[in-house]
Copies of this chain bind each other. A is one copy, B any other.
Amino acid sequence: MAVKKTYVVLSSKGGVGKSTLSSLLAFYAAERGARAGLVDLDFTNPSTHIVLGVDPREVRYVEEKGIFPALVGKLRYVTPAAFTRDSPLPLRGENVSRALFELISILRLDGLDYLFIDTPPGMSDEHMDIVYRLGEVVKPVVVTTPSPLSVSSVRKMISLLRESGLREIFLVENMGGGGLADVFKEPGITYLGYVPFYPGFDNCIGSLENVRRCPLRSFFESIVDKLVSEG
Question: Which residues of A come within 8 Å of B, CB atoms?
Answer: 12-16, 19-20, 42, 44-45, 47, 50-51, 87-94, 96-97, 120-125, 127-128, 147-149, 152-153, 156-157, 159-160, 201-202, 205-206
User: How near does chain B come to A37, taking the closest CB pair, in angstroms?
Assistant: 21
A123 touches B45 (CB 8 A): yes
A148 touches B92 (CB 8 A): no
**Nearest chain B residue, comparing its CB with the CB of A89:** B123
A96 and B121 contact, Cβ closer than 8 Å, known pairs A148-B50, A157-B88? no
Q: Which of A14, A44, A50, A87 has the most CB of B within 10 A?
A: A14
User: How near does chain B come to A170, taking the closest CB pair, in angstroms?
Assistant: 19
User: How near does chain B come to A144, taking the closest CB pair, in angstroms?
Assistant: 11
Q: Which residues of B contact A42 (CB under 8 A)?
A: 122
| C-alpha spacing A16/B92, complex, angstroms | 22
User: How near does chain B come to A196, taking the closest CB pair, in angstroms?
Assistant: 12
**Nearest chain B residue, comparing its CB with the CB of A146:** B202
Instruction: Please give the count of copies of this chain that the complex contains.
Output: 2
Contact with A148, one of B15, B152, B206 (Cβ below 8 angstroms): B206
User: How near does chain B come to A197, taking the closest CB pair, in angstroms?
Assistant: 8
Contact with A202, one of B20, B47, B120, B147 (Cβ below 8 angstroms): B147
B90 touches A123 (CB 8 A): yes
**Nearest chain B residue, comparing its CB with the CB of A160:** B88
| C-alpha spacing A156/B46, complex, angstroms | 11
Q: Which residues of B contact A202 (CB under 8 A)?
A: 147-148
Contact with A120, one of B96, B122, B205 (Cβ below 8 angstroms): B122
| C-alpha spacing A62/B137, complex, angstroms | 47
**Nearest chain B residue, comparing its CB with the CB of A19:** B149
Q: Which residues of B contact A153 (CB under 8 A)?
A: 45, 47
A92 touches B160 (CB 8 A): no
